[in-house]
Structure 1
Amino acid sequence: MTDPIMYPVRLVRPPLFLPLWHFAVACFIGTMITDITYFRTAEIMWADFSAWLLTAGLVVGVVAAILCLVDFFIGRLVGVNRLSVVYVLGNGVGLVIAFFNALIHSRDAWTSVVPMGLVLSAATLVVLILGGVMGRAAVYRRDLGVVE
């Protein structure tokens, strides 16, 4: 009998926080869309939608950040390097900007969105896009979350 050929096996343990974080980012994208719609139409319903999406994104984002810390401290995230630390810190900065955006959105009527709320929504998305690029590089180029 011949010996079976041994192939290296890679087991992937996906991080717990990623599905929740993706939901939070989708809420922040929706906030930007509803902010732009409110700016163009001045219909108060869109400002309300922005506030709701922003609140949902913040709540879920904070839960995702806590799960990310849990993943990190229990050793579920292997291969943590400088790039992944920049990714996590960038996402934290995005949450902080979104928090200040929620404070701005708590105002009444036109000033809740225009101009500062719109600027903070755009800044949040820029930071999260840069964080997403860093995260992609950390996961796919550095084998984050992969055990050999």
Structure 2
Amino acid sequence: MTDTTYPFARITPGPLHAVLLGGAVALFLGGLLSDIAYSNTYQIQWSNFASWLIAGGLVFCGLALLFALVNLLQAHPKAGRPTLYFLLLLITWVLGLINAFEHAKDAWAVMPSGLILSVIVTLLSCVSAWTGLTNLRSGGAR
């Protein structure tokens, strides 16, 4: 009988890692909602809020990315899930950084590219959190 499980690779993140993922999703979502508010009202303060929320999301996402890297280095070489999770978080962080640079422009220059990037980053952060927090295996108890 062949054991196909990888006992030394974490399937789901620990509590601190989960808090960092949840914080990144919430902060990127807050940035998106601030961008939506700015596009509807043109009150410059909403753009400032979005900039700060995106910066906070980058901090949380970056720390979660470090946890994912450690998990990737400890995972079995054939385990594709930690690799997918790490790549999703990396893409989220890179696009979030580009979004932060976009929001560093003058408030009038942020739209519509800042809003579009915020939508993409928020969706990617949700997908990466979903991938990191769920267990794709079916049947059997862990």
TM-score by length of 2: 0.77
Aligned length: 129
Partner of 2:95: 97
Unaligned runs of 5+ residues in structure 1 are 1-11
TM-score by length of 1: 0.74
Distance 1:47 1:133, change over 3 A: same
Residue from 115, 118, 140 that aligns with 1:121? 118
- Identical aligned pairs, as a percentage? 30
**2:62 aligned with 1:65:** no
**2:135 aligned with 1:140:** yes
RMSD, aligned CA: 2.7
Contact conserved, 1:51 with 1:106, CA < 8 A, in 2?
A: yes
Distance 1:86 1:70, change over 3 A: closer
Taking the aligned partners of 1:13 and 1:121, their CA distance within structure 2 comes to 26
Give deviations 1:32-70, integer Å, cap 9, x for gaps. 000000000001111110000011111121122112223
Pair member with larger Rg: 1
Partner of 2:105: 107
Unaligned runs of 5+ residues in structure 2 are 1-10
Residue from 128, 132, 135 that aligns with 1:131? 128
Partner of 2:48: 48
Taking the aligned partners of 1:122 and 1:26, their CA distance within structure 2 comes to 13
